[in-house]
Amino acid sequence: MSRQANRGTESKKMSSELFTLTYGALVTQLCRDYENDEDVNKQLDKMGYNIGVRLIEDFLARSNVGRCHDFRETADVIAKVAFKMYLGITPSITNWSPAGDEFSLILENNPLVDFVELPDNHSSLIYSNLLCGVLRGALEMVQMAVEAKFVQDTLKGDGVTEIRMRFIRRIEDNLPAGEE
């Protein structure tokens, strides 16, 4: 009898279609419940935040990356390790601000929006806003306050999807012992 713990996730594969459908159902239900695109965007961000605060521990437990010492390292880890691990894509990092506190993540293809088209009456809906919440929540748990927002979106006719990440400040309260 196998002595390994009950985790078969290495071999557990789920259809990405089911994922796209699930996310789609979520967004359309929110649209029906809130009727106002801005509110839906806020809710998606909140939901993403709740996912992010939990996802970060899973990420740290599985990937064994150490603490990042500056925003550039953070950007690298997010693009090359985290996105790869969870969405199977590797966005590119561009457009660094001169102060080194802002950068853009360029996603060639976004698995959340496979098969999706935004109708005209939802032109201000940020369909993948969940991702911004996830980034914000996850980084907050490692003591970084950041702002993430979509500046380009293939659903709105742009060529690529671009998320702009801005470093606000280091969260100094409740620092784990040993970090200063």
Partner 1 sequence: MAIFSVFVVNKAGGLIYQLDSYAPRAEAEKTFSYPLDLLLKLHDERVLVAFGQRDGIRVGHAVLAINGVDVSGKYTADGKEVLEYLGNPANYPVSIRFGRPRLTSNEKLMLASMFHSLFAIGSQLSPEQGSSGIEMLETDTFKLHCFQTLTGIKFVVLADPRQAGIDSLLRKIYEIYSDFALKNPFYSLEMPIRCELFDQNLKLALEVAEKAGTFGPGS
CB of 57 to partner 1, least distance (A): 4
Q: Which of residues 37-56 bind partner 1 (CB under 8 A)?
A: 53-54, 56
CB of 180 to partner 1, least distance (A): 7
- With binding defined as CB under 8 A, does residue 179 bind partner 1? yes
Residue 74: count other Cβ atoms within 10 Å of its Cβ: 20
Residue with tokens 């789920």: 14
In DSSP terms, 19 is beta-bridged to none
- With binding defined as CB under 8 A, does residue 67 bind partner 1? yes
CB of 18 to partner 1, least distance (A): 17
Residue 165: count other Cβ atoms within 10 Å of its Cβ: 22
- With binding defined as CB under 8 A, does residue 147 bind partner 1? no
- With binding defined as CB under 8 A, does residue 99 bind partner 1? no
- With binding defined as CB under 8 A, does residue 98 bind partner 1? no
CB of 55 to partner 1, least distance (A): 8
Distance CA 17, CA 12 (A): 15
* Residue span binding partner 1 (CB under 8 A) among the ranges 18-26, 30-38, 124-132, 168-176: 168-176
Long-range contacts of 53-57 (CB under 8 A, 24+ apart): 53/137, 53/138, 53/140, 53/141, 55/86, 55/134, 55/137, 55/138, 56/137, 56/138, 56/139, 56/141, 56/142, 57/141
Binding site for partner 1 (CB under 8 A): 3-7, 53-54, 56-58, 60-62, 64, 66-67, 141-142, 174-180
